[in-house]
């Protein structure tokens, strides 16, 4: 497939290649808008999907969360941090050759009627940075006076956003949330970005947002 590399696509590709971690469209949008202030999130999504379909970058969806993109297009596996949502490569397969792969991972010809054409291996856990952060937080729970410190929790605007998403049921657009909460669209966009970083919101569809199980728990906490 012939890929027309526009200026926007070149900038996106350069940003992806700069970072060893697998970035989301929202993260790339924040990076690219510094160079192209008038670019929209929808345009970033569209160009990323084009590059992925063309085989220039790899598209990755981990644990049912929002898509991430990787400059390494060869077959490889991943490890996912359930706390900060970071995704990193992990070397497990010795070869991309089908015969060599089957030696490492013997696969049946069929499973319940399915013809097996490949597989995806994904590890989940806590990254070193989150382990360290959790240990520091545990040490800070009891303050010098002997009182327990209060958890940070959610802001009122963040709670409004989560409550509106729960009432909506299905994945919804930021404008739907703004209309339901009465918050400014820019405020809603900012809150969604913060909530996604915490793992309380995901983006299963382009420009639409859904409430995760962690988000439901946090909202009721």
Q: How far apart are CA 146 and CA 125, in angstroms?
A: 32
Question: Shortest CA distance to 57 belongs to which of 43, 47, 71?
Answer: 71
37's CB contacts (< 8 A; 6+ apart) are none
- Of 112 and 72, the one with more pLDDT: 72
Q: Which of 70, 89, 122 is the last residue of a domain?
A: 70
Q: Give me the mean pLDDT over the 40-54 stretch.
A: 91
Q: Give me the mean pLDDT over the 79-107 stretch.
A: 70
Query: Does the residue 89 lie in any domain?
Result: no
Whole-number pLDDT of residue 61: 73
Q: How far apart are CA 153 and CA 90, in angstroms?
A: 33
Average pLDDT, the chain: 79
- Lowest-confidence pick of 33-42, 52-61, 98-107, 151-160: 98-107
Total number of domains in the chain? 2
**Domain range for 23:** 7-70
Q: Give me the mean pLDDT over the 172-184 stretch.
A: 90
Whole-number pLDDT of residue 147: 40
What is the model's pTM? 0.50
Q: For 11-21, b where at least 16 C-beta lie within 10 A, e where not — what string?
A: bbbebbeeeee
For the chain, the residue count is: 221
Q: Which of 48, 70, 92 is the last residue of a domain?
A: 70
Percent of the chain residues topping a pLDDT of 70: 78
Query: Does the residue 12 lie in any domain?
Result: yes
Query: Does the residue 195 lie in any domain?
Result: yes
Q: Give me the mean pLDDT over the 97-114 stretch.
A: 64
Query: Does the residue 49 lie in any domain?
Result: yes
CATH of residue 214's domain is 1.10.10.10
- Of 1 and 184, the one with more pLDDT: 184
Asked if 188 and 200 count as a contact pair (C-beta separation under 8 A), the reply is no
pLDDT-derived band at 145, boundaries 50, 70, 90: very low
DSSP code at position 208: E
Q: Which of 70, 89, 116 is the last residue of a domain?
A: 70
């Amino acid at each position: 497939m012939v890929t027309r590399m526009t200026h926007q696509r070149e900038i996106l590709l350069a940003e992806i290649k700069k970072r060893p971690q697998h970035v989301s469209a929202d993260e790339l949008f924040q990076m690219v808008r510094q160079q192209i202030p008038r670019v929209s999130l929808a345009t970033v999504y569209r160009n990323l999907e084009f590059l992925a379909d063309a085989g220039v970058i790899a598209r990755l969806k981990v644990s049912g969360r929002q898509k991430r993109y990787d400059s390494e297009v060869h077959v490889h596996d991943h490890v996912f941090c359930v706390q900060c949502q970071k995704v990193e490569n992990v070397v497990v397969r010795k070869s991309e050759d089908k015969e060599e792969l089957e030696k490492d991972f013997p696969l049946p010809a069929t499973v319940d009627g399915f013809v097996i054409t490949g597989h995806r291996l994904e590890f989940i856990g806590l990254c070193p940075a989150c382990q360290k952060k959790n240990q520091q937080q545990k040490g800070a729970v009891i303050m010098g006076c002997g009182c327990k410190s209060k958890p940070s929790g959610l802001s009122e605007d963040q709670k409004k956003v989560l409550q509106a998403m729960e009432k909506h049921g299905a994945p919804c657009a930021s404008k739907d949330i703004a209309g339901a909460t009465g918050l400014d669209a820019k405020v809603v966009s900012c809150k969604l970005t913060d909530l996604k970083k915490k793992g309380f919101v995901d983006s299963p569809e382009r420009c639409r947002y859904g409430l995760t199980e962690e988000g439901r728990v946090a909202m009721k906490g």
